[in-house]
Amino acid sequence: MPHEVAARQIATNEEEPLYSAAMHPARRPFVGGNWKMNTSRQGAIDLARAVATGIESSRCEVVIFPPFPWLLPVADAVNRSRAAFGAQDLSVEAQGAFTGQVSAEMIVDCGATWAIIGHSERRHGLAESPELCGAKLRRALDAKLSAVLCVGETWEERSAGRTDEINRMQLDAALAGVPAEALARIVVAYEPVWAIGTGRTATVDDADAAHRAIRRFLGNRYAPAAVEGVRIIYGGSVNAGNARSLFSAPEIDGGLIGGASLKAAEFLSIVAATELATASTRS
Residues 162-181 that bind ligand 13P (CB under 6 A): none
Q: How buried is residue 176: exposed, middle or buried, by Cβ count under 10 Å (0-12/13-18/19+)?
A: middle
Contact letters for ligand 13P, residues 38-77 (x by CB under 6 A): ----------------------------------------
What is the signed CA dihedral for 259, 247, 169, 61, rounded to 10 degrees?
70
Q: Which is nearer to ligand 13P, 194 or 222 (CB)?
A: 194
CA distances to 123, 174, 181, 243 from 191, rounded to whole Å, are 12, 15, 24, 14
Q: Is residue 237 within 8 Å of residue 201, measured between CB atoms?
A: yes
Q: Which of 140, 196, 218, 240 binds ligand 13P (CB under 6 A)?
A: 196
Q: Give CA separation, 45 vs 18, 23, 64, 201, 267, in Å.
A: 41, 38, 12, 29, 15
At 147, the amino acid letter reads A
The catalytic residue among 153, 191, 251, 275 is: 191
State which of residues 235, 240, 248, 269 lies at the interface with ligand 13P (CB under 6 A). Answer: 235
Closest CA to 147 of 159, 135, 162: 135
Find the shortest distance in angstroms from Cβ 236 to ligand 13P: 5
- Binding flag, residue 256, ligand 13P (CB under 6 A): yes
* 191 given a catalytic annotation: yes
Pick from 39, 170, 237, 278 the residue near ligand 13P by CB under 6 A.
237
Point out which span in 44-52, 175-183, 190-198, 245-253 binds ligand 13P (CB under 6 A).
Answer: 190-198
Which span sits near ligand 13P by CB under 6 A: 49-57, 78-86, 107-115, 250-258? 250-258
State the Cα–Cα distance between residues 200 and 275, nearest whole angstrom: 23
- Spatial distance between the Cα atoms of 240 and 210, rounded to a whole number of angstroms: 22
To the query of whether residue 119 is one of the catalytic residues in this protein, the response is yes
Nearer to ligand 13P, 7 or 233 (CB): 233
The footprint of ligand 13P on residues 114-133 (CB under 6 A) is 119
Query: Among 259, 263, 266, 276, which residue interacts with ligand 13P (rule: CB under 6 A)?
Result: 259
Nearest in space to 252 (alpha carbons), one of 192, 176, 169, 168: 192
Asked if 122 and 150 count as a contact pair (C-beta separation under 8 A), the reply is no
**Cα–Cα distance, 279 to 115 (Å, whole number):** 27
**Among 17, 29, 86, 236, which residue interacts with ligand 13P (rule: CB under 6 A)?**
236
Selecting among 119, 128, 228, 275, the annotated active-site residue is: 119
Question: How does 64-90 read in b/e, with b if 16+ C-beta sit within 10 Å?
Answer: bbbbbebbebbeebbeebebbbbbbbb
Segment contacting ligand 13P by CB under 6 A, of 104-112, 129-137, 171-179, 254-262 = 254-262
* Residue positions annotated with a catalytic role: 119, 191
Q: Would you tell me which residues interact with ligand 13P (CB under 6 A)?
A: 34, 119, 191, 196-197, 235-238, 256-260
